[in-house]
Amino acid sequence: MDAPLPKPEQIRLAVVGLGYVGLPLAVAFGRRLPTLGFDVNLARINELERHHDHTLEVPEAALREASQLRFSADAGRLHECNVYVVTVPTPIDAYKRPDLRPLEAASRTVGEALSRGDVVIYESTVYPGATEEVCVPILERESGLVFNRDFYVGYSPERINPGDQEHRLETITKVTSGSTEDAARFVDALYARIVSAGTHRASSIRVAEGAKVIENIQRDVNIALINELAQLFDRLGIDTQEVLAAAGTKWNFLPFQPGLVGGHCIGVDPYYLTHKAQQVGFHTDVILAGRRTNDGMGQHVARRVVRLIQKHDGHPANCRVLLLGLTFKENCPDLRNTRVTDIVDELAEYGIAVDVHDPWVDAAQAREAYGLALVETPEAARYDAVVLAVAHRQFVEMGTTGLRRFGKPGTPLFDVKGVLPGAEVDGRL
């Protein structure tokens, strides 16, 4: 007989992986039902036990309010649980292939703790099929249990946008799915307890997996189109922002902006789908073309800055440029897969010395991740060019006058993000 699913009052939930996705989820569940937050990183567990979240996603008060939430790095504690939500990273390797090792490791850990009737829900972004083809066999092997008879699986992709106070876990419609009709209903009801925006029950796990991955691919490809246009308009001597403002007056023109595409989602997820496509012998030309264009934007920005320096009678080899911002996006400390480093690398190719300043970033982390020594307080009147790479609010508040103070008299100011008045900068995407 098929094992019965846990009744609502029997649920003992575990969140496996307490990063940007896992912690807000553990806190939301921990307000309503017994929840164990598990992570292999002991330092992370220690800071959370002190009610501190270095990702700045969850304030201290919210951590304290989650009265039923406990933290542990001890996998043995997972045996107390019967519903597991897996939120571990799904990065790519040096060859841009999916690196499923964290997902496989987490599945092994959960598999060891699994009992009859338990439910494992994956939230990590993957390609269609990954949950059932990669994770389920591991769960079966480690537990000795039979899928869809002894235990069940769900997939509910995460859509949060770190640093965004408006679109939060509770206010974004949650896509849910399950490996059987009953499991799908169970997963849906579980999320309905914490998501006020409501849920969307997909017809299968693969549909839910596909939905998540294409959300980010759609953004990537659309940004790539605007990035390509920005490169073309630069050659044509037209300001892209002015073109976008004019085109944007049409009701159905989509408001995408040119820029660097970094982070662990938009620049990474497409490779999950293109990997799966390769497995079935399908060539994803458009998706990969978008990736190529977006990956070339750091180089494009650097070359435009060099041109500005040359126009200003500077020789790149004697120049020092101030790059403001290192994170992959504004107002958050997240350095993962930042493409600002492409600007640094390309400027260095021209012999330019680059100082990077970012008040949101932990200097030790920047050194460890990218070998960059951040400048804590950039000197005034020191630089031959100033590049606003990330629109952190501190930089935007300085305005063009404040930002120009870092430069020598007449130094060019380049606005990668298009947030400063066009007439007051020397170049922008």
Ligand X SMILES: NC(=O)c1ccc[n+]([C@@H]2O[C@H](COP(=O)([O-])OP(=O)(O)OC[C@H]3O[C@@H](n4cnc5c(N)ncnc54)[C@H](O)[C@@H]3O)[C@@H](O)[C@H]2O)c1
Q: Which of 81, 135, 265, 319 is catalytic?
A: 265
Instruction: Tell me 6's DSSP state.
Output: P
CB of 287 to ligand X, least distance (A): 17
CA distance 155 to 355: 43
Under rule CB under 6 A, residue 109 binds ligand X: yes
- Sort strands 320-324 and 119-122 into parallel, antiparallel or unpaired: unpaired
CB 108 within 8 A of CB 138: yes
CA distance 216 to 210: 11
User: Which x/- pattern over 264-283 shows residues binding ligand X (rule: CB under 6 A)?
Assistant: xx------------------
Work out which of 13, 15, 78, 106 binds ligand X, going by CB under 6 A.
106
Work out which of 6, 12, 13, 19 binds ligand X, going by CB under 6 A.
19
**Beta-carbon neighbour count of residue 323 at 10 Å?**
30
Minimum CB distance to ligand X smaller for 18 or for 425: 18
Work out which of 47, 56, 68, 102 binds ligand X, going by CB under 6 A.
102
CB of 36 to ligand X, least distance (A): 12
Q: Output the furthest CA–CA distance in the chain (Å, rounded).
A: 81
CB of 155 to ligand X, least distance (A): 11
Minimum CB distance to ligand X smaller for 16 or for 347: 16
Computed over its alpha carbons, how large is the radius of gyration of the chain?
24
The three-state secondary structure class of 340 is: helix
CA distance 336 to 260: 13
Minimum CB distance to ligand X smaller for 332 or for 388: 332
Under rule CB under 6 A, residue 88 binds ligand X: yes
The three-state secondary structure class of 120 is: strand
Task: List binders of ligand X among 135-174 (CB under 6 A).
Answer: 158-160, 162
Under rule CB under 6 A, residue 81 binds ligand X: no
CB of 393 to ligand X, least distance (A): 19
CB of 329 to ligand X, least distance (A): 10
Extract the tokens encoding 113. Answer: 């703790």
Which class for 373: exposed (0-12), middle (13-18), buried (19 or more C-beta within 10 A)? Answer: exposed
The three-state secondary structure class of 180 is: coil
Under rule CB under 6 A, residue 329 binds ligand X: no
Task: List binders of ligand X among 36-75 (CB under 6 A).
Answer: 38-41, 44
Under rule CB under 6 A, residue 177 binds ligand X: no
> Which backbone phi and psi does 54 adopt, to 5 degrees?
-70, -15
Q: How many residues bind ligand X (CB under 6 A)?
A: 29
Work out which of 87, 176, 241, 294 binds ligand X, going by CB under 6 A.
87
81 classed as catalytic: no
Minimum CB distance to ligand X smaller for 45 or for 306: 45
Under rule CB under 6 A, residue 261 binds ligand X: no
* List of residues 6+ apart from 186 with CB closer than 8 A: 5, 6, 119, 152, 154, 178
Residue carrying the six token digits 């990218």: 370
What angle do helix axes 285-295 and 297-311 make, rounded to 10 degrees? 30
Q: Which of 381, 374, 384 is nearest to 316 (CA)?
A: 384
Extract the tokens encoding 270. Answer: 């497409």
Minimum CB distance to ligand X smaller for 338 or for 411: 338
Minimum CB distance to ligand X smaller for 183 or for 335: 335
CB of 70 to ligand X, least distance (A): 15
Under rule CB under 6 A, residue 22 binds ligand X: yes
**Which H or E element spans position 286?**
helix 285-295
CB of 266 to ligand X, least distance (A): 10
Minimum CB distance to ligand X smaller for 205 or for 425: 205
User: Which of these segments, 87-95, 230-238, 279-287, 417-425, binds ligand X (CB under 6 A)?
Assistant: 87-95
Minimum CB distance to ligand X smaller for 157 or for 314: 157
Q: Which of 324, 298, 341, 327 is nearest to 383 (CA)?
A: 324
Under rule CB under 6 A, residue 21 binds ligand X: yes
Under rule CB under 6 A, residue 176 binds ligand X: no
* List of residues 6+ apart from 38 with CB closer than 8 A: 14, 15, 16, 17, 18, 71, 72, 73, 75, 77, 78, 109
Under rule CB under 6 A, residue 105 binds ligand X: yes
Catalytic residues: 265
Binding region for ligand X (CB under 6 A): 16-22, 38-41, 44, 87-90, 102, 105-106, 109, 123-125, 158-160, 162, 264-265
